[in-house]
Structure 1
Amino acid sequence: MSTGTSTSSWRLLMANPVTVVSAALLVIIAFVAVTASWIAPYGINDVDVPNALQPPSGAHWFGTDELGRDVFSRVLVATQASMRVAVVSVAFAVVVGVTVGVISGYRGGWLDTVFMRVVDVMFAFPVLLLALAVVAILGPGVTTTILAIGIVYTPIFARVARASTMSVRVEPFVSVSRSMGTGHLYILGRHIVPNIAGPLVVQTSLSLAFAILSEAALSFLGLGIQPPQPSLGRMIFDSQGFVTLAWWMAVFPGAAIFVTVLAFNLLGDGLRDVLDPKQRTMIEARRKQ
């Protein structure tokens, strides 16, 4: 991507207030994810039974739970855990899925057939059901949760990378490079991968949102992050018996999930508008009118 195109892309991104707000929210969330252990005002497992089920106040911004633990501190650390699981699992899916998709789309033939049939089989299962199967086989825990979410999102990146690679490999500059005797690895690294980065960046943003939802769902079912480590899904599960007595136990963890997922989705939409040539042309045409 040229400097002029990059500058134009940044201008389009900055011209969209929704994208700017979502990016700012993600910066704040990323800061929380990095510093949660230091900025949390209380210990996540500090039990204070006499102050149990206290509503939000100056001492406890998000109130306390049934054991008197500070909900604000637990939400901060749980957000850190959710982001860590989401980032690592999606990174795994990107590496494996893009590798499979690029090789499949570039080589074609029987290799493409085999890879895509495996991907089709994985797509036949609902995402959460496949993740539950992986966790049930390997046992609950943080590592298993990361692996399960990474596995279920790998086929998505494989398909996106394959489709993009198949459209790029027939471009004239790839044919010229191949006719000059350039090696396949050089073509993949110099021509193919940089030109399919746009759709992959958008898919990464959207997958991070769904990975956070998947982690929360697994933890809600007791198969994700295990106590005493707090998780947003587990906090919502624990609040079920106190909904009428302490609404804050469910509302604040749920709000953390909602805001994070919404920010990733809105950023993904903004990136798609900029990186997709058709969407970009439409936006630029509207701006000129």
Structure 2
Amino acid sequence: MSGDTRMSSWQLLLRNPVTAVSATVLAVVVFVAIGANWLAPYGVNDVDVPNALQPPGAAHWFGTDELGRDVLSRVLVAVQASLRVAFVSVAFAAIVGVTIGVVSGYRGGWLDAVLMRVVDVMFAFPVLILALAVVAILGPGVTTTMLAIGIVYTPIFARVARGSTLSVRTEPFVAASQSMGTGNLYILGRHIVPNIAGPLVVQTSLSLAFAILAEAALSFLGLGIQPPQPSLGRMIFDSQGFVTLAWWMAVVPGAAIVVTVLAFNLLGDGLRDVLDPKQRTLIEARRKR
């Protein structure tokens, strides 16, 4: 892809105000998550019972919980943990799933049939049920949560990579490389993977959004990130008994989940419009008119 094409892609991406705003929001969220330990005004586990259930104010911008802990500080560190789980688990899913999908789509035959039947079996289980099964077998914890979410999203990346590979492997430049006796690894790395990167980038953005939701759900059920480390799902669980007395205990971590997930989804939609040739053609045509 030429420099002009890349510049055009960025221009098209930034011309979409929704995509530009979502990218900005994500940049802020990532920056805040990286600096959470320095930005947090209080310790995440600093108990101050006399100031329990204090509403948002000058001392505690987002109020305090039932033990007097600062909600803002806990949310900042919880977002950091949530993003770490999401990025690691999706990276695992992408590496394993893309490898399976590319090999399956490129080689075909019995290997394709065997690998896709395994993927189909994994697809047969609902996402949360499969994650719960993995956590139940390995036990709760951060590492287990990453592994469970990664396993859940591996077949999705495998399907996307296989479908894209099936389209690219019939292209003339692939046939030309094969006719010259070029090795399969070189063809995969030089021709196949770069040409299927677009759908994979979009899928990565969408998977990050769902990974955050999955981590929050597992933590809400007590199977994800374990106390005393704060997590968004656990904070919402702890707020159930104080909804009428301290609404901020549920609203603040819930809003953090909604904003982050929505930003990832909107960014994924924008990337799809730019990287999908059909969508990109329609956008450029509308812009010219």
Q: Same fold (TM over 0.5)?
A: yes
Question: Once superposed, which parts of structure 1, at least 4 consecutive aligned residues long, lie more than 6 Å away?
Answer: none
CA distance in 2, matches of 1:10, 1:35: 28
Q: Which residue pairs with 1:53 in the alignment?
A: 53
What are the superposed Cα offsets for residues 218-250 of structure 1, whole Å, 9 maximum, x if unpaired?
A: 000000000000000000000000000000000
CA distance in 1, matches of 2:60, 2:53: 11
CA distance in 2, matches of 1:203, 1:5: 21
In structure 2, list runs of 5 or more residues that go unmatched: none
Offset at 1:7? Answer: 1.1
CA distance in 1, matches of 2:29, 2:47: 26
Q: CA RMSD in A?
A: 0.4
What are the superposed Cα offsets for residues 92-136 of structure 1, whole Å, 9 maximum, x if unpaired?
A: 000000000000000000000000000000000000000000000
Q: Which residue pairs with 1:94 in the alignment?
A: 94
Q: Which residue pairs with 1:140 in the alignment?
A: 140
What are the superposed Cα offsets for residues 45-86 of structure 1, whole Å, 9 maximum, x if unpaired?
A: 000000000000011010000000000000000000000000
CA distance in 2, matches of 1:119, 1:176: 31
Q: Which residue pairs with 2:159 in the alignment?
A: 159
CA distance in 1, matches of 2:29, 2:114: 40
What are the superposed Cα offsets for residues 15-73 of structure 1, whole Å, 9 maximum, x if unpaired?
A: 00101100001101111111101110000000000000000001101000000000000
Moved more, 244-253 or 31-40: 31-40
Q: Which residue pairs with 2:107 in the alignment?
A: 107
Q: Name the SS for the 2:278 alignment partner.
A: helix
CA distance in 2, matches of 1:42, 1:287: 49
Q: Percent of counterpart pairs with the same letter?
A: 84
Q: Which residue pairs with 1:210 in the alignment?
A: 210
Q: Which residue pairs with 1:277 in the alignment?
A: 277
Q: Which residue pairs with 2:128 in the alignment?
A: 128
CA distance in 2, matches of 1:217, 1:181: 50
Offset at 1:288? Answer: 1.0
Read off the aligned partner of 1:254 and give its amino acid letter: G
Read off the aligned partner of 2:149 and give its amino acid letter: I
CA distance in 1, matches of 2:80, 2:32: 7
CA distance in 1, matches of 2:72, 2:33: 14
Offset at 1:164? Answer: 0.3
Using the size of structure 2 for normalisation, the TM-score is 1.00
What are the superposed Cα offsets for residues 129-156 of structure 1, whole Å, 9 maximum, x if unpaired?
A: 0000000000000000000000000000
What are the superposed Cα offsets for residues 199-220 of structure 1, whole Å, 9 maximum, x if unpaired?
A: 0000000000000000000000
Q: Which residue pairs with 1:182 in the alignment?
A: 182
